[in-house]
Amino acid sequence: MPELPEVETVRRGLLPVMEGRVISRATVNRDGLRWPFPAGMAARLSGAQVKTLRRRSKYILADLSTHETLLIHLGMSGRMLISGQMLGAFHHDHPAPQKHDHVVLDMEGGARIIFNDARRFGAMDLFASEQAEHHPLLAALGPEPLGNAFDEPYLIGKLKGRNTPIKSALLDQQIVAGLGNIYVCETLFRARIAPQTKAGALTTDQVASLVPLIREVLAEAIEAGGSSLRDFRQADGELGYFQHSFQVYGREGQPCATPGCQAHVARIVQSGRSSFYCPTCQR
């Protein structure tokens, strides 16, 4: 599932063709994806101007001139693809309709945005903008890891006394929003902290060190366009490239990236997810 860097990459790709533009026509080709689409979604979107395109955790939010907000969740295989618009030096003609093109947004200026989702685990919702903070998918989210509310004192306070492994704690969306398996593994490697270490057993300095490292890993991933492992594509159809910088994720059995370390990357399963780490560097 796309994590924060992938969703932020898609949002930035959509900005030039969505923010400030009118949705000339919305076409909805099915009743819903993971959940049913809201009633009359096509009619409610058609003619609305996208005032702001923002991200909250792993969700893209389009605030509309109609005082409604469109929520987009990519799910496992969802893609937001642009055609009919100059993207760098290339012009992407509108492609022939595909089987899994579930929602199509024809934008003012000629761009077309297609939400394609083969596995149908993605979602879209449309609700009153003033209720956004109370939406069931958003209400319990913790602070954004790249925002000012996520700082060393906050994380120290949240992890104090917790008996859960640090890997699980950082994946808890109520503690910090948007982090997923890939970037937590990479952060813990840089912090030299084993994923199975109890969160409450970490020193204050260890917890404090996680904040800048989380931001560093996320910033590098966003700069690289995210990570493409299976289905993820940027809005222009290109792959992300951060997977080429992985130091532990997906590298089970390969030599540790730390110079001079003779160990190999190990994998354990925590809460049904694979954790990759160096048993020598991370203790």
Is 58 assigned a catalytic role?
yes
Residue ranges of E strands in 21-100: 23-28, 50-56, 59-64, 68-73, 78-83, 86-87, 90-91
- Determine the Cα angle at 32 with ends 5 and 76, to 5°: 30
Evaluate if residue 235 carries a pLDDT over 90: no
Evaluate if residue 183 carries a pLDDT over 50: yes
- Phi/psi of residue 133, nearest 5 degrees: -70, -15
DSSP letter at 93 equals P
What band does 89 get if pLDDT is binned at 50, 70 and 90? very low
pLDDT in tens, 243-258: 456 899 989 999 999 9
pLDDT in tens, 169-178: 999 999 999 9
Length of the chain: 283
The single residue of 44, 198, 215, 273 carrying the catalytic annotation is 273
Is 51 assigned a catalytic role?
no
Structural domains in the chain, CATH included, are 4-134 (3.20.190.10), 152-277 (1.10.8.50)
Q: How much is the pLDDT for 283?
A: 86
Q: Mean pLDDT in the chain?
A: 89
Please state the pTM of the whole predicted model: 0.88
Evaluate if residue 96 carries a pLDDT over 50: yes
The single residue of 2, 5, 165, 195 carrying the catalytic annotation is 2
Q: How much is the pLDDT for 78?
A: 84
Is 273 assigned a catalytic role?
yes
Evaluate if residue 99 carries a pLDDT over 90: no
The single residue of 11, 55, 56, 58 carrying the catalytic annotation is 58
* Residues above pLDDT 70, as percent of the chain: 88
Q: Which two tokens stand for residue 28?
A: 């909805």
